[in-house]
Amino acid sequence: MGYKRLGDYIREVNVRNRELKVTNLLGLSVSKEFMPSIANTIGTDMSTYKVVERNQLVYIADTSRRGDKIAIGLLDKYDNAIVSQAYTVFEVIDHEQLLPEYLMMWFRRPEFDRYARFHSHGSAREIFDWDELCDVQLPIPSITRQREIVSEYETLTNRIRLNNQMILHLEATAQALYRKMFVDNIDKENLPEGWRMGTLGDYVELSQGIQVEVEDQSLIKYKGYNRFIRIIDYTPNTTEPPRYVNISNKRYFSTREDVIMIRYGDAGTVCRRLEGIIANNLFKITPILSITRNYVYHFLKSDTIQKLVKSSAASSTMPAITHKAVKDLECIIPPSTIMQEFDTIISIIERDICLKSDEISKLTELQSLLLSKMGK
């Protein structure tokens, strides 16, 4: 199967929102997904924005500020939307020759990101312009084979989406149980017998991560290398490959059960379920007295505590959470029997979540394998 020039199969589209009929403003991420725009549009003339229709594609030509990624996406979840004038909108000319979904799979390949970065040019900022995109060479099999490949990929994608939905449901169930046992109808001024108030710092230890040089996933086979856990690894739908470091220090090592909090950026966000050495923009929260990791995790995930933590982080120039802010959090300490009852139930839910997470990892590997085979 020979390679074909992409420019023979696509054309640029430049339709403006002149009549202001489209109001759904979307942005585009380096994970190649459309997302609701957070731009302040007050007083903005929305008639100059570009209209995107279902099955059309959009890309951002400026690649200099996005690391090794190029932001490009297929509009498949909306009938239409509007995007910034700086974006390039294009479409496949004939869907019986090239499926937009197949083309989007090609754009998801890490090899395409590397190609786009290599062919970007400019002085003040680097651009992967329209002519460069048109010069992309890719294999275009029969439309029947394209449909088969897309169907295989979408089956994996749908399974990943279903598992993520189930994880969210399990998380919500666990959080509801926490609220029922430790928040609802609990009067802090008149606690039941055996319950007491305390500050989190009296019951946990905080360990900050480490800053080191990281290496790629090929080193996983070498003894002494551990995965290096960064903020991006806790980002939903991340396409960033794992990184590894030759460090085994227990102080910086996190297990799947450990409670991890993001220190900068999305400061205060609580995570878990990844195993490896944690980066310096994360810290691990380890119980040392009377309470369990499950209790600490759901205490910190509760709405009230998240608001306190986020407000504390936002008070600095760069959103950041300090050790002191976490340690000073007021918390209820129930009797050990009640704590263990909660822990037993939550451990069952956590086991199911981990099984779903493991399946997502395997399905994601299969997706990567399918994408890699497109070039062969």
Residue labelled with tokens 């449901």? 169
> Taking 80 as the threshold, does the pLDDT of residue 283 lie above it?
yes
> Taking 80 as the threshold, does the pLDDT of residue 323 lie above it?
yes
**pLDDT score at 64:** 65
Residue 374's nearest CA partner among 152, 218, 116, 157 is 152
The reported pTM is 0.82
Strands (E), 38-185: 50-53, 57-59, 72-74, 80-83, 88-92, 137-139
Provide the token pair at 146: 């394209």
CA dist 375 → 99, 112, 137, 199, 363 (Å): 16, 11, 10, 57, 20
Residue labelled with tokens 């600095």? 316
**pLDDT score at 306:** 86
Least confident of 123-132, 276-285, 300-309: 123-132
Least confident of 149-158, 177-186, 215-224, 365-374: 215-224
When mean pLDDT is compared over 47-51, 267-271, 305-309, the highest value belongs to 47-51
DSSP state of 108: T
35-51 pLDDT per residue, tens:
888 777 777 888 999 99
**pLDDT score at 345:** 95
> Taking 90 as the threshold, does the pLDDT of residue 89 lie above it?
yes
Average pLDDT of the chain is 88
Residue 50's nearest CA partner among 79, 92, 22, 8 is 22
For residues 165-188, average pLDDT: 94
211-265 pLDDT per residue, tens:
887 666 565 656 678 888 888 888 876 767 778 888 888 888 999 999 999 988 7
Query: For a pLDDT cut of 70, what percent of the chain falls above it?
Result: 93
CA dist 139 → 1, 25, 69, 376 (Å): 7, 33, 21, 8
Burial 60-92 (b: 16+ CB within 10 A, else e): bbbbeebeebbbbbbbeeeebbbbbeebbbbbb
**Rounded to an integer, what distance in angstroms lies between the CA atom of residue 374 and that of residue 86?**
30
Residue 297: count of CB within 10 angstroms of its CB = 24
**pLDDT score at 282:** 92
For residues 132-149, average pLDDT: 95
Which band of pLDDT confidence, cut at 50, 70 and 90, is reported for residue 303?
confident
Residue 85's nearest CA partner among 116, 107, 56, 61 is 61
